[in-house]
Amino acid sequence: MDGQEEFLKEFGDFYGYPNAPKSIDEIRSTEFKRLEDTVYLDHAGATLYSELQMEAIFKDLTTTVYGNPHSQSDSSSATSDIVREARRQVLDYCNASQKDYKCIFTSGATAALKLIGENFPWSCKSTFMYTMENHNSVLGLREYALNEGAAAFAVDINEAVDQDGASRSSLTSFKVLQHPVQIRNEAKILEGELTGDAYNLFAFPSECNFSGMRFSLDLVNNVKQNAEKILEGSPCSKGHWMVLIDAAKGFATQPPDLSLYPADFVVISFYKLFGYPTGLGALIIRNDAAKLLKKTYFSGGLYLEVLLMDIFNVVVLLTISFTGTVAASIADIDFVRRREGVEEQFEDGTISFLSIASIRHGFKIFNTLTTSAMCWHTMSLTKFLKRKLLALRHENGESVCTLYGNCPLKVSRHDCGSIVSFNLKRPDGSWFGHREVEKLASLYGIQLRTGCFCNPGACAKYLGLSHSDLLSNLEAGHVCWDDNDVINGKPTGAVRVSFGYMSTYEDAKKFIDFIRSSFISMPSEFEKRYLLRSKSIPCPTEGFEDRLPSSACHLKSITIYPIKSCAGFSVNSWPLSNTGLQYDREWLLKSLTGEILTQKKVPEMFLIKTFINLNQQILSVESPYCKRKLQIKLDSDSYLPGREEFYLQNQRYEVQCYENEINQWFSDAVGQPCTLVRCCQSEYCFSLNKNRSMGMCRDVNGKLNFANEAQFLLISEESVSDLNNRLCSKTQKLSCGAPPNVNPMRFRPNLVISGGEPYAEDGWRNLRIGNTYFSSLGGCNRCQMINFYQQTGQVKKTNEPLATLASYRRVKGKILFGILLRYDPGNKARLDTNSWLKVGDEVHSNSE
């Protein structure tokens, strides 16, 4: 029995919409053709729109005239009808009576939460209680509460479970662990006694976007009816409790039934339901809760000018404004009459009516498949993936995967959502970084998400991070979305896989195969040697020139890259300076916002050709997007007066800026406004990272211009040849056309050597090229930039050669190829202004 047969034997009744007009395979082949080469597993971040859905929306918008609903024209009336129907569909989806609830459209779930926070009747007697597992957008409500003198605290919810694993449903089935109470203005709190007159708010997600754990909706009735018992008589339990459900994640496959669980507020986001439209959400609000919100702001659109005559027969012009949130207002006196409709009170300005008109096409898909079937479908994939991950073992028997969330693995659609959150371990128990997983996954065409997913409470809870851990991580420079994925031996985030209604068994299978091939195989001989070398005592540099053996290598080419991320030029010989090859990476381009432009973000930079004429002292630059060649004098008189400073790679640079004519040329070349700056040598400082390890960081001892890591990058022709052989074998095995042939220049080296064995450079400590001495800083960590290449004047991108390199050149999350060099500061052959490198120079190495 193969894997899919085994899967279908257990989940066949739940997977693939057996009772729907289309099977899952038909849905994928007809409505998601763009996923042919992509495994998309970030539906918790944003699910995907159907191609048929978009065709229906396009047809609707191109055949119907929708006018601004704040009018009485036929087109406006048609829009009003569509909006009214959209509100009904949203309420029907969660079984909410139109008599009891209203649907307020917002710009997203976050805007809906902000609306609650701004207008909730907070007081010094109020309490804001929220589960630890909440999105930052919910935690932001705490600011409104604390600023008004209210108390706030987080809670952990423990739900009583029967022996058969089923959750109980009674008013006493929850155990609440209360975290410390937060009070911003304690004196104010003490002045007012906590009484039953206060309005309190409890917020929880229907599904945790970190772990996928679903909270029991019995919490709604428990808190509203029995808060004092749940909180064991805490003073904060008194008052009228209102309940907010963040359903941004859980609404698609398990919307709350508001007829059974009458929450006061429910917030949703439509792009997480249907993929489109973005920038549209909704607040589902109980009518009695809406009456308590204290709206201050009103907005306007239409107006009416009225001529009146007062008792003195003076004509007065009154401008009365009719808007979405008010019935009328007068400009020059304090007069406003608000509209009575709940939606009209809170929807400021003109709603996004074209986006609202689009959601009915998403609901049409959901109604065809049914919510229950979508829930069972995603549940089957989630359970399958969790079981497979938990079963993975290293050769020494150690577990590979640690899952987060206490969801049972039995077949049930009520316990967990469509999320699998986890981290991976090495055989020795150390952690693979989550960013390493994400980067490698992208090379395999797998799109997922890593980090804390804007849910700091769940992240800290499941990863076991204390307050001191979080603060020390912050002091170490860790912020959201950076590459600091393991600090002090602990992961700072997790890997998250999330399924959507169009996800397939093949998606889950490809992901499992990726994990198995990338994180379970034994370390390569290269990795073993490299780790051993990085832990060994550095070889003394004094007198190493006397120990260099005879050479089997010579310098094949020299390349200078004057402008960071632009094309370089090759020469037969070139002078050296105290920053490396003279003029190498001495210039860079900055956007008007200060962002450094690189090929990763602006591939057109690859097409900018450079050349420096040492005799004429001119930098020449060409681009296919510019008619004329640009020539810049090296002792330029086109500098702007004064210097600027900025930080790059944690280091401060002083730079010289250029006049507008030069900046306009580069702006045309890259297709966006930018400025050219030149590094003022020796006028910046270095920031030393005390925890740096060999070959894994920036050179902090040598002087650099704008190079990422070191003064020189050296590549071996023999190593490139071995890589090409591997690419050829891989292509033949997969039968996928002609193998790519990678040129050494794809890696943007300064120095290319020829001769010797492939990867012999990995073991070099020191070397001499001609009469110049260097120290090796270790391997160069490669990134997606080496996957860019030029073809017929266009910049293109593939997943090679980085994907192949990752299969055999990976060490502790780094993909290494080539070595970084700097002048050895301790040797006696000091660099002087007459030092040159020449093609053909012999290369002597020392590997001690």
Give phi and psi for 45, each to the nearest 5: -80, -50
| pTM for the predicted model, two decimal places | 0.84
The yes-or-no verdict on residue 620 having pLDDT over 70 is yes
pLDDT band at 1 (very low <50, low <70, confident <90, very high): low
Helix (H) / strand (E) element for 714: namely: strand 712-716
CA distance 230 to 217: 15
CA distance 502 to 42: 12
298 to each of 229, 290, 336, 675, how far by Cα in Å?
A: 40, 16, 9, 43
Which residues are catalytic, by number?
Answer: 454
Q: What is the pLDDT at residue 627?
A: 93
* Span 791-816, average pLDDT: 86
Task: Give 229's Cβ-side CA count (13 Å radius).
Answer: 12
The yes-or-no verdict on residue 365 having pLDDT over 70 is yes
> What angle do helix axes 74-93 and 353-369 make, rounded to 10 degrees?
40
Task: Give 847's Cβ-side CA count (13 Å radius).
Answer: 12
Least confidently predicted of 108-122, 350-364, 810-824: 810-824
Would you state the structure tokens that stand for residue 565, as one six-digit string?
């991320």
Q: What is the pLDDT at residue 681?
A: 57
Burial 4-34, CB ≥16 within 10 A → b, else e: eeebeeebeebbbbeebeeebeebbeebbee
Would you state the structure tokens that stand for residue 776, as one six-digit string?
């090796």
pLDDT tens digit sequence for 66-81: 998 878 888 999 999 9
* Span 108-125, average pLDDT: 95
CA distance 389 to 511: 10
Peptide bond into 277 cis (omega under 30): yes
Q: Which amino acid is at 16?
A: G
* Span 820-827, average pLDDT: 72
pLDDT band at 192 (very low <50, low <70, confident <90, very high): very low
CA distance 254 to 213: 12
* Span 516-541, average pLDDT: 61
CA distance 786 to 747: 6
Spatial neighbors of 72 by CB under 8 A, at least 6 apart, are none
The yes-or-no verdict on residue 804 having pLDDT over 80 is yes
Give the burial class of 478: count Cβ atoms within 10 A of its Cβ; 0-12 exposed, 13-18 middle, 19 or more buried. Answer: middle
CA distance 749 to 319: 70
CA distance 129 to 201: 6
Beta-sheet strand order (sheet of 609-613): 609-613, 618-622, 630-633
Q: Which amino acid is at 132?
A: M
Task: Report DSSP state, residue 399.
Answer: B
pLDDT tens digit sequence for 550-561: 567 999 999 999
Helix (H) / strand (E) element for 766: namely: strand 766-769
247 or 812, which is more confident: 247
* Span 699-728, average pLDDT: 88
> Pairing between strand 101-106 and 281-286?
antiparallel
Would you state the structure tokens that stand for residue 136, as one six-digit string?
């930052």
- 524: closest CA among 747, 819, 782, 806? 806
The yes-or-no verdict on residue 544 having pLDDT over 50 is no
The yes-or-no verdict on residue 158 having pLDDT over 90 is no
Least confidently predicted of 48-52, 202-206, 424-428, 685-689: 685-689
pLDDT tens digit sequence for 369-407: 999 999 999 999 999 999 999 999 999 999 999 999 876
- The residue length of the chain stands at 848
Q: What is the pLDDT at residue 217?
A: 94
Q: What is the pLDDT at residue 187?
A: 46
CA distance 284 to 92: 11
Q: Which amino acid is at 125?
A: K
Q: What is the per-residue DSSP string for 34-93?
A: GGTT-EE-BTTT-----HHHHHHHHHHHHHS----SSS-SHHHHHHHHHHHHHHHHHHHH
348 three-state secondary structure: coil
> Pairing between strand 630-633 and 618-622?
antiparallel
* Span 174-199, average pLDDT: 72
416 three-state secondary structure: strand
pLDDT tens digit sequence for 631-653: 999 987 667 777 788 777 667 78
Q: Residues 380, 11: contact at Cβ < 8 Å?
A: yes
Would you state the structure tokens that stand for residue 312, as one six-digit string?
């003195």
Q: What is the pLDDT at residue 184?
A: 86
Q: What is the pLDDT at residue 99?
A: 95
Q: What is the pLDDT at residue 828?
A: 45
Average pLDDT, the chain: 85
333 or 326, which is more confident: 333
404 three-state secondary structure: strand
The yes-or-no verdict on residue 686 having pLDDT over 80 is no
pLDDT band at 683 (very low <50, low <70, confident <90, very high): very low
CA distance 617 to 773: 27
Burial 67-87, CB ≥16 within 10 A → b, else e: bebbeeeeebebbbebbeebb
pLDDT tens digit sequence for 486-507: 999 999 999 999 999 999 999 9
398 to each of 385, 529, 811, how far by Cα in Å?
A: 19, 23, 20
| Region at 640 (left for phi over 0; alpha for psi -120 to 50; beta for the rest) | beta
Q: Residues 682, 703: contact at Cβ < 8 Å?
A: yes
Least confidently predicted of 87-96, 500-509, 696-705: 696-705
